[in-house]
Amino acid sequence: MKILVLYEYPPQPGGLATQGYMLFKGLQALGVDVHSVHLESGQEKEWYYRWFKPDVVVGIGYWGHVPHLVLHPQRYGVAAVPWLVADGYIANYREVLNALPLILVTSQWVKEVYIRDGIDGEKIHVLPVGIDTDQFVPRDTSDPQVATVREALGVLPEQCMILTVGGDAASKGAQEVMQALSIIDHKAPDWRYVCKVWPQPRTLRQNLEDLQLASHLGIERRVIYTTNVVSRNFMPYLMAACDIYAAPSRIEGFGMPQIEAGACGKPVISIKAMAMLDTLVHGKTAFLAGVATEIRIGETVLGEEAGFENGHRIVFDTPRTSDYRASVHDIANYLMDLMTDANLRRQMGQAGRKRAVDCYDYRVVAAKLLQILQDKLGIR
């Protein structure tokens, strides 16, 4: 079988790029004849179509990437299978997607979003994202490579380090975590809350808002924001440096960092909604806070990135849920349970590690893809 994988290649540390690279790496490990190319590189994609002659092109992105992931390979007579995430609403390309024999999505929640917005569910199959369980492994905090991460962040060995990682922190639920920490501040053991975010203009503005909230809550001296550019080589050590990984995300189509944290043997706090219902097991690998609020919108404005003219306005027949807010009091209770019980942290981390290896290792995911392609498309 010859497979061409379309994603943000060469891969940056972002979620979609890592998702594509892990698939490529898993297929390569299984002996598949596979190549990678940037999803928007029309000339290079055509070059591969002509000489490599792939049996199938698997493209990673969201529905707005359909022209790059589906229409372009179809123009050259190549079978296309998109592997898609969702941003809460599928606004365009329904006809193109419904004409495909197979669509892959990252979670059952993403599948439900596509079905709700008019995509044939019989063609949609869930394929989880793969992670590197050889790199994301349990490490002792006394390991020099881990200890120096904490030292650089200003976290003392005896302090409990809570971590959130994302393009920005607020979308991962950091504001809800800060509110929860303010509730338990004087009862909990000494702690520091670290938010690792990606440096970009939008993030810088969001960081200021988040830090203003921390100041309003009176916990600003315990909250640490870091916006350095880092590679994937660094991330396993950052994960290993924390005691608790907290990401009760406001919108999440899979939640790769939560799984990576579990692979590192860290307990996770997230939200009882969306992809977390697939990937995390409440009370075993993670604590899932209840949904306190669903944010609903009656309309949205889209543009060229979604295949419309700029300023295209869409009014919904009924309001749509755009994102969620986790229960602050649930988060506070779960933080206290984990911060005061090292054995519970260890047990939950061990369960998270086992689930990550069994279900989300990049080789396991690649093998699942091959089986789906054989079963649904007859490609061998």
Task: Label residue 101 exposed, middle or buried (CB < 10 Å: 0-12, 13-18, 19+).
Answer: exposed
The per-residue pLDDT for range 287-308, each reduced to its tens digit, is 999 999 998 888 888 777 778 8
| Structure confidence at residue 378 as a pLDDT band (50, 70, 90) | very high
Helix or strand or coil: residue 154?
A: coil
The pLDDT score that the predictor gives to residue 76 is: 97
Judged by average pLDDT, the poorest of 77-86, 221-230, 338-347 is 221-230
Question: Rounded to whole angstroms, how far apart are CA atoms 232 and 239?
Answer: 11
Q: Coil, strand or helix: which one is 323?
A: strand
Say whether pLDDT at 132 is over 80. yes
Nearest to 130 by CA among 253, 11, 241, 21: 21
Strands 244-246, 33-38: pairing is unpaired
Residue 359 has pLDDT above 80, yes or no: yes
User: Is 88's pLDDT higher than 90?
Assistant: no
Confidence of residue 91 (pLDDT cuts 50, 70, 90): confident
Q: Using an 8 Å Cβ cutoff, are 76 and 49 in contact? A: yes
pLDDT at 121 over 90: yes
Q: Is pLDDT of 318 > 90?
A: no
pLDDT over 70 percentage in the chain: 100
As a whole number of angstroms, the distance between CA 38 and CA 181 comes to 41
pLDDT at 253: 93
pLDDT band (50, 70, 90) for residue 322: confident
Give 88's contacts (C-beta < 8 A, 6+ positions apart): 113, 251, 320, 321, 322, 323
> pLDDT of 8-58, one tens digit each?
999 988 899 999 999 999 999 999 999 999 999 999 999 999 999 999 999
> Given the structure tokens 């372009």, which residue do they identify?
72
- For 205-264, the pLDDT digits (tens) are 888 899 999 999 999 999 999 988 888 899 999 999 999 999 999 999 999 999 999 999
pLDDT in the model for residue 311: 85
Instruction: Please tell me which residue, 330 or 303, carries the higher pLDDT value.
Output: 330
Peptide bond into 236 cis (omega under 30): no
Rounded to whole angstroms, the Cα distance separating 34 from 39 reads 15
- pLDDT of amino acid 298: 86
From residue 328, alpha-carbon distances to 174, 182, 184 in Å are: 11, 10, 11
**Average pLDDT in the chain:** 95
Q: What is residue 230's predicted lDDT score, i.e. its pLDDT?
A: 87
**347: pLDDT strictly greater than 90:** yes
Q: How far apart are CA 327 and CA 287, in angstroms?
A: 12
* Residue at 50: amino acid letter: R
Distance CA(198)–CA(272), nearest Å, equals: 26
Residue whose pair of structure tokens reads 């999803």 in the numeric block: 39
Residue 367 is inside which H or E element, if any? helix 362-377
Burial label for 185, CB within 10 Å (0-12, 13-18, 19+), is middle
Q: How far is CA 73 from CA 39, 45, 60, 209, 277, in A?
A: 10, 8, 13, 43, 34
| pLDDT at residue number 308 | 82
Mean pLDDT of 327-344: 98
d(CA 71, CA 134) in angstroms, rounded, equals 36
At 86, the pLDDT band (50, 70, 90 cuts) reads: confident
The region of weakest confidence among 147-156, 197-206, 292-301, 328-337 is 197-206
pLDDT of residue 206: 87
CATH superfamily of 2-130+361-377: Glycogen Phosphorylase B; (3.40.50.2000)
Residue among 216, 171, 176 at smallest CA distance from 193? 176
Concatenated DSSP letters of 262-324: HHTT--EEEESSTTHHHH--BTTTEEEEPEEEEEEEEEEEE-GGGTS-TTEEEEEEEEEEEEE
Question: What is the rounded CA–CA span in Å between residue 349 and residue 135?
Answer: 16
Strand partners, 37: 6
Predicted pLDDT of residue 300: 82
- Fold annotation for 144-290+327-359: Rossmann fold (3.40.50)
Question: Confidence class of residue 200 from pLDDT cuts 50, 70 and 90?
Answer: confident
Secondary structure (3-state) at 205: helix
- pLDDT of 202 reads 75
Contact 7, 39 (CB under 8 A): yes
pLDDT at residue 201 tops 90: no
- CA 309, 314, 320, 322 torsion: positive or negative? positive
User: For the chain, what's the residue count?
Assistant: 380
pLDDT at 305: 72
**Mean pLDDT value across residues 318-342:** 94
- Is the predicted pLDDT of residue 348 greater than 90, yes or no? yes
* pLDDT in the model for residue 72: 98
Asked if 272 and 253 count as a contact pair (C-beta separation under 8 A), the reply is no
Domain boundaries, the chain: 2-130+361-377, 144-290+327-359
Q: Provide the 8-state DSSP code for 361.
A: B
